[in-house]
Amino acid sequence: MQGNVLVMVMIYTSCQAACPRLVADMRNIESKVKGKVSADIRYILVSIDPETDTPARLKSFSKENLMNGDQWLFLRGTEENTREFANVLAVKYKKISPMDFSHSNIISVFNQQGELVHQQEGLGVDNKEIIEAIIELAK
């Protein structure tokens, strides 16, 4: 994926609270950026619940949310790798019940060299700043 601008968020598919909003934000960002840049942009959703979010579950989630184009990528890793990656992104999460997590709401942007260059924290925030950052990187 080196050479691509990456827009990344950590979610879990059974989330009923914050994750649907993060998914909506990612779709909104993608729709606002589409057609304004020439470089490839990849939108990556990383599961914080690899036990529940099997490859089949992630695939059906991508279809349910109309995120099954080539620009979308859903990833899951081991619990250890996921925790390590979350630490790199400053995303904190904790299982609070068998089907529920408390977690940070952060969308991260990486440049073509794989360097973290921008983060947006919060739900329902104005996506203007992150959209401008992506467009600037992907010119």
Annotated binding-site positions for Cu cation: 15, 19, 103
Indicate the annotated binding residues: 15, 19, 103
| C-alpha pair distances (Å), 59 with each of 26, 27, 47 | 17, 16, 12
Which residue has tokens 């879990």? 12
The secondary structure element, H or E, covering residue 97 is strand 93-97
Instruction: Report helix, strand and coil shares of the chain as percent, to nearest 5.
Output: 35, 25, 40
Helix (H, G, I), strand (E, B) or coil at 94: strand
